[in-house]
Amino acid sequence: MNKKIIMLIVAVVIIAIAGVSIYMFTGSSDTNTNNNQNNNNAVEDDTNDNTNVTSDDANILVLYFSMSGNTEAVANIIHDEVGGDIIRLETVQTYPEDYDELVDYAQEEQQDNARPELSTTIENIDQYDTIFLGYPNWWGDMPMPIYTFLDNYDLSGKTIAPFITHGGSGLSGTPSNIQEEEPDATVPEGLAIYGDDAKNSQSDVREWLNSIGY
């Protein structure tokens, strides 16, 4: 008789434990489901955000000229931050690869106030409100292909945000030259990055973008 009662108690305890376990399992399974739904919502929200960014940044162009890759590195960082399109400006006549020859060639072009022909065409310039315009400092000025670009396109009403890479001379007043070429454009403060620092200029780029409202 005693044995029967003990068996009964054991059975009741086992059933109780099983019941609690099933409840807990079911409960936690629900929680997981909710979490997953929340995560899904988060993914959907992200997707919406990205969609918005895409439509917002369709009016941004990062345009740059670069010979040895420094300005290109900064252009890519800016593009990662602001989105939009990115285009490398290239010329019909390629530049000498030898550094000394390039230095002489560029100086001559500048003295001649040349307008080297561009092989890059920007079909849809009207769609852009903001152009981030990047170039290396060449002889204390912009490379002449940048002047060709400014001559070829009417950038009235647009914002042209200049960035330069250099070997010590900084911006050398080049934003003023852009403003002279494009009097009806807005030219905010430019960004100057020392050439050797170009690949690691993320924080300078972010600070500059913030300062000019991006």
Ligand X SMILES: Cc1cc2nc3c(=O)[nH]c(=O)nc-3n(C[C@H](O)[C@H](O)[C@H](O)COP(=O)(O)O)c2cc1C
Query: Which residue ranges make up the site for ligand X (CB under 6 A)?
Result: 66-72, 102-103, 106, 136-140, 165-169, 195
Q: Hey, what amino acid is at 1?
A: M
Q: Is 145 in contact with 151 (CB distance < 8 Å)?
A: no
| Residue whose CB is nearest to ligand X in the complex, by number | 195
Token pair listed for 203: 């924080």
Neighbour tally for 32: CB within 10 Å: 10
Q: How far is the CB of 195 from ligand X (least distance, A)?
A: 3
C-beta of 40 vs 113, nearer to ligand X = 113
C-beta of 142 vs 155, nearer to ligand X = 142
**How does strand 130-136 pair with strand 85-88?**
unpaired
Neighbour tally for 212: CB within 10 Å: 15
Element (H, E) at 160: strand 159-166
Q: How far is the CB of 204 from ligand X (least distance, A)?
A: 14
C-beta of 70 vs 76, nearer to ligand X = 70
C-beta of 46 vs 143, nearer to ligand X = 143
Where helices occur in the chain by DSSP H, the ranges are 2-56, 70-82, 99-111, 144-152, 174-181, 202-211
Q: How far is the CB of 56 from ligand X (least distance, A)?
A: 28
Q: How far is the CB of 55 from ligand X (least distance, A)?
A: 31
